[in-house]
């Protein structure tokens, strides 16, 4: 088969057989390891007047917790550092009139 050649060519790859369920657990483990290594956890406070940002954040991150208070929405999420920075920019821009930075 071509598998030995592919393994040499792509040493970081996880080879699976989805139809025969071979090494799918290894793939899951590698995906979790990748996420833990490359994703950062962040909390933001969004004024209720800018609640529309919540949907954008859901599209850019894995939201772990969403909490509402009287005046704001507190979101805790995991994302890549690049998306975290984009979210910071969106939240800070929308909240500029509400006291500046809202990243915890």
Topology, domain 38-104: Ribosomal Protein S8; Chain: A, domain 1 (3.30.1370)
The mean pLDDT of 69-93, rounded to a whole number, is 94
Task: Quote the pLDDT of residue 44.
Answer: 96
Higher-confidence residue: 21 or 69?
69
Query: What gap in Å lies between CA 75 and CA 16, rounded to an integer?
Result: 36
The residue with greater pLDDT, 51 or 100, is 51
The predicted model scores a pTM of: 0.65
Report the DSSP beta bridge partners of residue 47.
Answer: 72
103 has pLDDT over 60:
no
Residue extents of the structural domains in the chain? 38-104
Taking 90 as the threshold, does the pLDDT of residue 81 lie above it?
yes
């Amino acid at each position: 088969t071509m598998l030995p050649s592919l393994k040499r060519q792509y040493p970081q790859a996880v080879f699976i057989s989805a139809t025969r369920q071979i090494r799918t657990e290894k793939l899951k483990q590698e995906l979790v390891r990748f996420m833990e290594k490359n994703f950062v956890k962040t909390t933001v406070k969004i004024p209720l007047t800018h609640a529309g940002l919540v949907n954008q954040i859901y599209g850019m991150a894995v939201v772990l917790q969403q909490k509402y208070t009287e005046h704001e929405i507190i979101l805790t999420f995991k994302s890549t550092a690049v998306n975290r920075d984009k979210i910071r920019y969106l939240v800070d821009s929308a909240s500029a009139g509400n006291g500046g930075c809202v990243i915890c």
